A and B are shown apart, each in its own frame.
Chain A
């Protein structure tokens, strides 16, 4: 661990103390975990504190931990069905924490340092405070996370879908949303218009997921 990172870690621990749930400095990157209700003041302090000065919000990423640590391959039960051999059905993930998380990546241009802030979001409420007030650039990042994961950013000025089609239903980046989608569209010559139908293709696994 570089001295620079340990210095930043010391400042962060000093500033927030008990308010941080965990600190991690793996791979030379500092990650802190904050409870959702303390997220806004923590990020505000990260931006305004003279020793931190994270004036830029680089990224906001939603994460769905539903299938975390699950693999699709168990080599113990062999069968004679070719490629599908030994594919285990998904059991329940051993993930203990809430299902969703929002990950913020901050950058300080002045002090040349980065930090990652993670907050877990309860699946019942899906509510996260919006940080558009702190960094105006968060607007689209939050709209994207709302669109793809269904995370609700409290206080966002204009929480509309961003990437998916007009009238799209569902949140496609959730792990229980099929990769092939739910609806397919085609032009129908008899009706002379585009029609939406349930997908006709089946989801396949070409390379099973393994954890070794």
Chain B
């Protein structure tokens, strides 16, 4: 029999553990990875090029579709970049709403990651539990923006509209009795803030449940401890950010170090790992969910006590109210101009970065003074993480590749753009 030294394995693009459309060419020596060559771009839609042919506001919706599990965080970076170029002041209430929803998004993202990572490694139950908790958060998205996922809620200068005073209720149906209906609607009697407050009260106990399932679980630890170890030096070299960097023990979080919106006024901690392996990154992300929960609680408290405008009162950038449009000629013109031509952004360039659930998500915006961006570059955290795949997977077994993809929290919407 001929001796086979190396062979090549084609992993994906149609593979449930590939988290979307990742095609990876693995050079194997037995079951050990010698070289991993990820082929990306199967979901490349040319978002950056598309943004060049439409007015600024029309691209906000495209931002949702980049990292489609942390929608509002993408919008956040985009509107921050525009605001920077326009030198726009954002009302305090709008900043609090944005921060609150950025943290809701972080929990949404981490729950998706935890569920999918668990599923990849063999903890099927996690997926179901995590989706249970995602549901109320998506309802909050829907209440505020009208859609469960692709919200298009943030605007340059603030947010599209104020938080609703009531939550939608479940309807009567032949498949639920009155008692069930009453319990479903129990936490929906007040405003959106009450609904979220109810969620934040219950959520820490749910995280405890997840931790009870995983943290000391023997199989979970066998699959994660010591896998995909990255030293801090290598993490810098490879451009890793977010939990991937904090897992290696670097206390770096843009929300603390380069605060945007109202993060500087909020009290939260940054968890860091020690060994830089998949298990530490798991612990970091779980703790981040608890911290996000704390931030949401503080935002709810502030938002309940303070009222005010939710978008900058500059009708060159934000549309005037509907009532104004009917009565005031000037407002009618502003409204018409806003929704046809958009607004012109002064010539210049700006880079705005946010601490996205996956890492540093940056928008580099180059304007030549037109109503459309001249060049929009999206710095996706997952892109740099995916590029580190070869180094992280080398020397590991085939099954560990799945754990490493899971720990990177890859979403192809943002990697391929």
Contact = CB atoms under 8 A, between A and B. Distances in A.
A61 B370 contact: no
B396 interface: no
A173 B369 contact: no
Interface in A38-74: 55-59, 61, 63-64, 67-69, 71
Contacts of A162: 40-41
A90 interface: no
Contacts of A164: 41, 44
Contacts of B350: 27, 29
A112 B371 contact: no
- Of residues A59, A139, A172, which shows the largest number of chain B Cβ atoms within 10 Å of its Cβ? A59
A211 interface: yes
Given A68-B368, A137-B387, A109 B252 contact: yes
A97 interface: no
B237 A136 contact: yes
Given A69-B369, A114-B351, A210-B344, A27 B85 contact: yes
Contacts of A210: 341, 344, 370-371
Given A112-B257, A206-B54, A140 B236 contact: no
B46 A105 contact: no
B274 interface: no
Interface residues of A, number: 47
Interface of A is mostly: loop
A162 to B, nearest CB: 6
B302 to A, nearest CB: 26
Interface stretch (B104-112, B192-200, B291-299, B358-366): B358-366
B383 A140 contact: yes
Contact of B239 (A57, A103, A114, A179): A57
- Of residues B41, B58, B252, which shows the largest number of chain A Cβ atoms within 10 Å of its Cβ? B41
Contact of B384 (A114, A137, A161, A163): A137
Nearest to B417: A163
B223 interface: no
B237 to A, nearest CB: 5
A211 B369 contact: yes
A209 interface: yes
B258 A68 contact: no
- Of residues A63, A137, A144, A162, which shows the largest number of chain B Cβ atoms within 10 Å of its Cβ? A137
B386 interface: yes
B348 interface: yes
A105 B362 contact: yes
A135 B374 CA distance: 28
Contacts of B48: 173
A209 B44 contact: no
A212 interface: yes
A172 B391 CA distance: 29
Contacts of A205: 53
Contacts of B49: 172-173, 179
A201 interface: no
Q: How large is the interface on B (under 10, 10 to 19, 20 to 34, 35 or more residues)?
A: 35 or more
Nearest to A158: B37
A137 B388 contact: yes
Contact of A163 (B40, B53, B238, B348): B40
A58 B341 contact: no
A194 interface: no
A107 B381 CA distance: 14
Given A29-B350, A56-B236, A209-B371, A105 B379 contact: yes
A31 interface: yes
B217 interface: no
Contacts of B344: 210-212
A135 B388 CA distance: 12
B50 interface: yes
Contacts of A140: 383-384, 386-387
A207 B340 CA distance: 7
B377 interface: yes
B368 A69 contact: yes
B44 A109 contact: no
Nearest to A204: B53
Interface in A133-190: 135-141, 144, 161-165, 172-173, 179
Contacts of B353: 58
Contacts of A103: 364, 377
Interface in B210-238: 236-238
- Of residues B236, B348, B349, B383, which shows the largest number of chain A Cβ atoms within 10 Å of its Cβ? B236
A202 B351 CA distance: 34
B115 interface: no
A94 to B, nearest CB: 11
A1 interface: no
B379 A209 contact: no
Contact of A179 (B53, B258, B362, B364): B53
B55 interface: yes
A207 B375 contact: no
B84 interface: yes
Nearest to B233: A55
6 contacts: A59-B377, A103-B364, A103-B377, A116-B351, A137-B237, A137-B239
Given A27-B349, A212-B344, 16 more contacts: A27-B350, A29-B350, A58-B353, A59-B351, A64-B375, A105-B379, A112-B258, A116-B351, A137-B384, A161-B41, A162-B41, A179-B50, A207-B55, A209-B370, A210-B370, A211-B370
Interface of A: 26-27, 29, 31, 55-59, 61, 63-64, 67-69, 71, 103, 105, 107, 109, 112, 114, 116, 135-141, 144, 161-165, 172-173, 179, 205-212
